[in-house]
Amino acid sequence: MEMTEAKSKQKDNGTLFSQFMENVRSKNEHEAKFIQAVSEVVEYVAPFIQEKDYYQNESILQRIIEPERTVIFRVPWIGDDGKFHVNRGFRVEMNSAIGPYKGGLRFHPSVNLDALKFLAFEQIFKNSLTGLPMGAGKGGSDFDPKGKSDNEVMRFCQSFMSELFRHIGANTDVPAGDIGVGGREIGYLFGQYKRLKNEFTGVLTGKGVDWGGSLIRPEATGYGCVYFADFMLHRIGDNFRNKSVVISGSGNVAQYAAEKSIHLGAKVITLSDSSGYIHDPDGVDEDKLDFVKELKNVKRGRIKEYTRKYSNSKYFEGENPWSQKCDIALPCAIENELNKNDAKDLISNGCKIVAEGANMPVTLEGIEAFLEANVIYAPGKASNAGGVAVSGLEMSQNSMRVNWSKDEVDKRLHDIMLQIHNICVKYGKESGDTVNYVKGANIGGFVRVADAMIAQGLV
Ligand code: NDP
Ligand code: 2IT
């Protein structure tokens, strides 16, 4: 039987896209995380552009996966003991179609080109969804700040910036924090940039509020993630009140996801770090959260110490929190921290909503399990966009030389998260009233950048 023209075109395109993924795999064969991130996007964007010749004729997918520029450099520094150390520094300048490169710096032993390419790729779609004029980048180093003195961290940051400064700028590339890079590191990096360029500009975000930073930036990713989860709940006539929430991580994102969950009347029962997790059956309240903030941000201690102070809680060494019964799960630590088996545990324990605070914390098989079980699942590029969104607001305030109030920034953050939610619903609507937020975020994020790339010609 002869195929209709449309069907035959569909088949050709199916082959075209499996060939596309084949090429991505062979060209980046040692980059498993990057391949994972690309295949999640292509799964949804490929069918969307099937009938749109202009995206295909202009090779948008082929161009969008290739960083515009990647810088790799040596970072030498001296330890407190007088010994020499060398780390590797990176900046992946991924896409500048809709604004200067924008994205965080990660200091963690797992940092390599693969990790940063996946993060920079995710950032394209995330930054696009915010509606703000920000392109995409990511950088960092395999330097491990754990166990280092403040002076060692300062010397490392100064050395890192001594190379990075020539590649960045307020209108070129604006780095920020990520894992292992918080207020302390941004301060040292900013100080060195200012010294080298003799310029006080908004070249980094996440700065201290007294020297160009924005109120609500520390809270933004965690708060934004909970706002997003709350919008998903509202769509099905529900909310956070009295829900039990399982959170992984105990760093910047986890702390403020916990804080906003508590504000909305939920009970946060877990937090974790790379050594294990704590379960508090009474819930982490605001006082207990203050203890965690002091423990992690000032004393730089381990989450295990929570159980010494709060005796009703229990520590699980070497485990993640996904086996705990909950209504809402917010993975806020690191990529691939929640696999298919973890997803199955959450599903069988009745979890209804998963919103990613971290970048790509759920594996592809985990996502599939959630979607099959009709768990409402938000990918990080949508639900954790609040951090970079407030970074964008910090850039605006720096350009205008003004400081917005806490309420002003929080309201803007809330509005941006709502707008992202609505874009996901628009592009992710499926049969009946269901929304596939992965589809919505990928297509919604893609369109703006792809159209800008076409408008700007072959670059
Ligand atoms: P932090 O460095 O403040 O905290 C990271 C947390 O994750 C720590 O509790 C850390 O524990 C834990 N962690 C690290 N590695 C592992 C592991 N292998 N298994 C379990 N837990 C681990 O980073 P952030 O909170 O800023 O970042 C967390 C996530 O959110 C990352 O995926 C980041 O990319 C993403 N994100 C961050 C944004 C921001 O604005 N900061 C914005 C958007 C996304 P330990 O102390 O033991 O290392
Ligand atoms: O993954 C992320 O979006 C971040 N780490 C924040 C980036 C930023 O530029 O604020």
Instruction: Answer yes or no: is 444 within a domain.
Output: no
**So which residues are the catalytic ones?**
138
Q: Closest ligand 2 atom, CA of 175?
A: 9
What integer pLDDT is reported at residue 15 of this predicted model?
Answer: 74
Q: Whose CA is nearest to atom 4 of ligand 2?
A: 104
pLDDT at 1: 39
pLDDT of 431 > 90? The answer is no
- State which of 12, 47, 64 marks the end of a domain: 64
Please give the number of the atom of ligand 2 that sits closest to the Cα of 123.
3
What pLDDT is stored for residue 7 in this prediction?
57
- DSSP 3-state of 165: helix
Average of per-residue pLDDT values in the chain: 96
pLDDT class of 2 with cuts at 50, 70, 90: very low
Residues 245, 129 share a domain: no
Here the tokens at position 231 are 């919008």
Interval 106-134 mean pLDDT: 98
- Provide the percentage of residues in the chain whose pLDDT is more than 90: 93
Percent of the chain with pLDDT over 70: 97
Atom number in ligand 2 closest to CA 102: 9
| Distance from Cα 234 to the centre of ligand 2, integer Å | 26
CA 377 to CA 156: how far, in whole Å? 38
Residue 104 β-bridge partners: 176
| Contact present, 59 and 19 (Cβ < 8 Å) | no
Are 275 and 237 within one domain?
Answer: yes
pLDDT in tens, 3-54: 455 555 555 667 777 889 999 999 999 999 999 999 999 999 999 998 898 9
Residue with CA closest to ligand 1 atom 40 = 387
> Rounded CA gap, 237 and 216, in Å?
28
- Residue 20's pLDDT is 92
Residue 319 lies in a domain: yes
Question: Which of these three, 64, 81, 106, is where a domain ends?
Answer: 64
- Per the structure, the complete domain to which residue 6 belongs is given by 2-64
The mean pLDDT of 374-382, rounded to a whole number, is 98
Closest ligand (CA of 270) = 1
The CATH number that applies at residue 146 is 3.40.50.10860
Question: Which residue's structure tokens are 């080298």?
Answer: 196
Using the mean position of ligand 1's atoms as its centre, give its distance from the Cα of residue 373 in Å: 27
User: How far does residue 17's CA lie from ligand 2's centre (Å)?
Assistant: 30
Residue at 432 is within a domain: no
**Which of 121, 134, 207, 388 has most ligand 2 atoms within 8 Å of its beta carbon, as the pocket-test mutant?**
388
Choose the final residue of a domain: 343, 374, 405: 374
Does 430 fall in a domain? no
CA distance 239 to 62: 41
Give the number of the ligand closest to the Cα of residue 358.
1
Q: Let me know whether 60 and 79 are in one domain.
A: no
Does 151 fall in a domain?
Answer: yes
Quick one: pLDDT band at residue 362, thresholds 50, 70, 90? very high
Mean pLDDT value across residues 384-406: 98
Helix, strand, or coil here: 202? Answer: coil
State the pTM of this model: 0.97
Q: Which range, of 43-52, 75-84, 129-138, averages the lowest pLDDT? A: 43-52
Quote the number of domains for the chain: 3
